[in-house]
Chains A and B, each alone.
Chain A
Amino acid sequence: MSNYALECINLNLMFKNHHAVKDFSLQVEKGKTYGLIGPNGAGKTTVLNLLTKVYKQNSGDIFLNGKNTKKMDSTQINRHGIARTFQNIRLFKEMTVFENIVVGLHNNQKYSLFDSIFRTPKYFSEEKKIRERSLKLLSIFGIEDKADCLCKNLSYGTQRKVEILRALATEPLILLLDEPAAGMNSSETMNLFEVINKIKNEFEMMSFIVIEHNMNFIMKICDYIYVLNHGETIAKGKPEEIQNNKEVENAYLGGQYAENK
């Protein structure tokens, strides 16, 4: 019906009697980057959770490549092309960086339990292939040297990077990033900005939805921005339009944007 990579129409979600998302609509074109901003508790994370079926909407529809996702669960959503990171980092903390990435590459690894137990040649060739691929992914952020570190021992910023790479490992069409720069220092944030641009150049058809409180970052990286407040979309438009929007400034940007400038 449409050639949007992703389209939501009038999503609503209630937590008990708290209306967390109100009539949220969104169109995502291939290869574009979208920002989701708004004050704390605005419902940004909840929108991502709806898109990835952590929660099911009370009403409204989500179309992925024109396909209604009503009957899908989180697993199928990823298989249909959406990968994400989490605001409160959900790495496998007792596992190494390498193992985290490899779990992301799971659906690319084609061997059976039989191959595991009998250590067939297929097991070894697939494991070797996957090791190379994960090192290649780690090289995007230049953190190959961390491959064998346990994730719980990594700095906050590095953990965020690993989580992004793990999501990227599933070869998504759309990547959802929930506050990717949170906990990063300014040089790490610069690095993240460059890397996202690099990924954009490498995978021209990949779309991004980014939640971020760092306004410099969001204004530079996005093609289009949605502003939420109390679950409602109070504004949407190109970064320069949002920057000059009075209502947004009142609700949110005023203090914070001035700080980040």
Chain B
Amino acid sequence: MKRQNIYSFLISILSLVFGNFIIGSGFISNSYKTVILQIGIYLIASLSLNFTLGYLGEFTLGHAGFLAVGAYTSALLVKNGMNFLIAITISAITSCLVGYIVGVLSSRLRGDYLAIASLGISEIIRIFIVNIEIFGGPKGLKSIPKYSNFLLIYSLVILSFVVFKLIIKSKHGRTIIAIREDEIAVKSLGISTKKYKILAFCVSAFFAGISGALWAGNQGILTPGEFGFMKSVEILVMVILGGIGSMTGSVISTGLLVAFPVIFQIFIPNMNKYRMVIYALILILVMILRPSGIMGKKEFKLKNPGGNENE
């Protein structure tokens, strides 16, 4: 292993242990705690969307659909007594199957058409949930065991970050990025772009499903209304603001945006009614000043002392 990787590994473990200690110790008030957990859940969602939007280069508007599938699958299974780790795994796989469908569509539809089709799929999922008895209909599911704790959420954040990184630095990731750069060229090299588009959407949906499952175990209640178009847009904004194709960008902007209400409260406590206005202004400003997002396509790197960049 590279020395850089060992450092990152140690830092991750230390932050997990330290974070868990801080959260458990009662230093932090409950409202901050909620924000911290939500950041983790959104991180997995935005990292997974970034994989298809930033790396594969396919624009979709239905990411909330994957979250919904993950959330409802896991909630139902855990309510019926299943171990939450198994339930999360199953919900990730279920969401992955939906990802397969979107992947097939993406190899047939171009650009805007895919965006509309993916929006359609996420709406179908939502309407399906509303109309099926066991999902609790429009009123939703209540008293879901709260299995999402800090350690679980952030372990999965690190897992998803690492898995995306590993894929990106492999044959599969290179091909996926190449499709973003020039699909005709990729085809001319004897590569089935369809296979890789499906792969990218499956992996993305897999982790979005995990994010949904954690969401369910964090809220304790689920209503289908939460997983509408606005949720997809919320995640989309996180990815675009951070920089399409930069994982560290997604991390930074997700953290900032989820924490925004709290940060706002601390620094300008008397202007709460203007919160959404200022939020929108900030988004517009960032997009004007840095059109390719906070990080562009760049990644934050730990310097590798005296080593070679390429393994």
Would you call B187 and A74 a contact (CB within 8 A)?
yes
> Which residues of chain A have C-beta atoms less than 8 A from B252's C-beta?
none
Q: Which of A55-107 contact B (CB under 8 A)?
A: 73-76, 78-79, 83-84, 86, 90-95, 99-100, 102-104, 106-107
Q: Which of B39-90 contact A (CB under 8 A)?
A: none
Q: Which residue of B lies closest to A96 (CB)?
A: B310
> Which residues of chain B have C-beta atoms less than 8 A from A116's C-beta?
166-167, 170-173
Would you call A102 and B170 a contact (CB within 8 A)?
no
Would you call B171 and A109 a contact (CB within 8 A)?
yes
Would you call A75 and B185 a contact (CB within 8 A)?
no
Would you call B185 and A113 a contact (CB within 8 A)?
no
Across the interface, A103 reaches (CB within 8 A) one of B167, B170, B175, B311, namely B175
The answer to whether A148 and B310 touch (CB under 8 A), given A90-B182, A103-B191, is yes
A157-186 vs B: 1/0 string, CB under 8 Å?
000000000110110000000000000000
Q: Tell me the complex Cα distance, A239–B63, Å.
A: 59
Would you call A83 and B188 a contact (CB within 8 A)?
yes
Q: How far is the CB of A217 from chain B (nearest CB, A)?
A: 23
Across the interface, B184 reaches (CB within 8 A) one of A74, A100, A113, namely A74
The answer to whether A75 and B190 touch (CB under 8 A), given A90-B184, A94-B297, A95-B178, is yes
Q: Which of B173-202 contact A (CB under 8 A)?
A: 173-175, 177-178, 181-182, 184-193, 199
Would you call A92 and B171 a contact (CB within 8 A)?
no
Q: Tell me the complex Cα distance, A111–B310, Å.
A: 19
Q: Tell me the complex Cα distance, A167–B181, Å.
A: 16
Across the interface, B189 reaches (CB within 8 A) one of A111, A113, A170, namely A170
> Is A1 close to B, CB under 8 A?
no
| B interface SS class | helix
State which size class the interface on A falls in. 35 or more
The answer to whether A92 and B167 touch (CB under 8 A), given A74-B187, A84-B188, A106-B190, is no
The answer to whether A79 and B297 touch (CB under 8 A), given A90-B184, A92-B185, A94-B177, is no
State which size class the interface on B falls in. 20 to 34
> Which residues of chain A have C-beta atoms less than 8 A from B190's C-beta?
75-76, 78-79, 83, 106-107, 170
Q: Tell me the complex Cα distance, A115–B172, Å.
A: 10
B151-180 vs A: 1/0 string, CB under 8 Å?
000000000000100110011111101100
> Is A117 close to B, CB under 8 A?
yes
> Which residues of chain A have C-beta atoms less than 8 A from B177's C-beta?
92, 94-95
> Is B133 close to A, CB under 8 A?
no
Q: Tell me the complex Cα distance, A44–B52, Å.
A: 36
> Is A123 close to B, CB under 8 A?
yes
> Which residues of chain A have C-beta atoms less than 8 A from B191's C-beta?
75, 103, 106-107
Q: Tell me the complex Cα distance, A106–B179, Å.
A: 13
Q: Which residue of B lies closest to A130 (CB)?
A: B171
Q: Tell me the complex Cα distance, A119–B182, Å.
A: 27
Q: Which residue of A lies closest to B162 (CB)?
A: A117
Would you call B182 and A78 a contact (CB within 8 A)?
no
> Which residues of chain A have C-beta atoms less than 8 A from B186's C-beta?
103
Q: Which residue of A lies closest to B1 (CB)?
A: A119
The residue among B174, B178, B188, B192 with the most chain A CB atoms within 10 A of its own CB is B188
> Is A229 close to B, CB under 8 A?
no
A116-128 vs B: 1/0 string, CB under 8 Å?
1101000100110
> Is A207 close to B, CB under 8 A?
no
Would you call B185 and A148 a contact (CB within 8 A)?
no
> Which residues of chain A have C-beta atoms less than 8 A from B311's C-beta?
127
The residue among B163, B173, B178, B190 with the most chain A CB atoms within 10 A of its own CB is B190
> Is A195 close to B, CB under 8 A?
no
The answer to whether A92 and B184 touch (CB under 8 A), given A117-B167, A148-B309, is no
> Is A54 close to B, CB under 8 A?
yes
Q: Tell me the complex Cα distance, A123–B297, Å.
A: 26
Q: Which residue of B lies closest to A126 (CB)?
A: B171
Would you call A73 and B172 a contact (CB within 8 A)?
no
> Which residues of chain B have C-beta atoms less than 8 A from A54's C-beta?
184
Q: Which residue of B lies closest to A117 (CB)?
A: B166
Would you call A73 and B189 a contact (CB within 8 A)?
no
> Which residues of chain B have C-beta atoms less than 8 A from A170's C-beta?
189-190
The answer to whether A113 and B182 touch (CB under 8 A), given A92-B177, A106-B190, A119-B166, is no
The answer to whether A106 and B185 touch (CB under 8 A), given A116-B166, A117-B163, is no
> Which residues of chain A have C-beta atoms less than 8 A from B188's C-beta?
52, 74, 78, 83-84, 86, 90, 167
Q: How far is the CB of B110 from chain A (nearest CB, A)?
A: 15
Q: Tell me the complex Cα distance, A94–B173, Å.
A: 13
Query: 8 smallest A-B Cβ distances: which pairs?
Result: A78-B190, A116-B170, A92-B181, A74-B187, A90-B185, A79-B190, A103-B178, A90-B182
| A–B pairs, 13, beta carbons within 8 Å | A74-B187, A75-B190, A75-B192, A83-B188, A83-B189, A86-B184, A92-B181, A94-B177, A100-B178, A111-B170, A117-B167, A123-B170, A167-B188
Given contacts A52-B188, A109-B171, 4 further A-B contacts (CB under 8 A): A78-B188, A92-B178, A116-B172, A126-B171
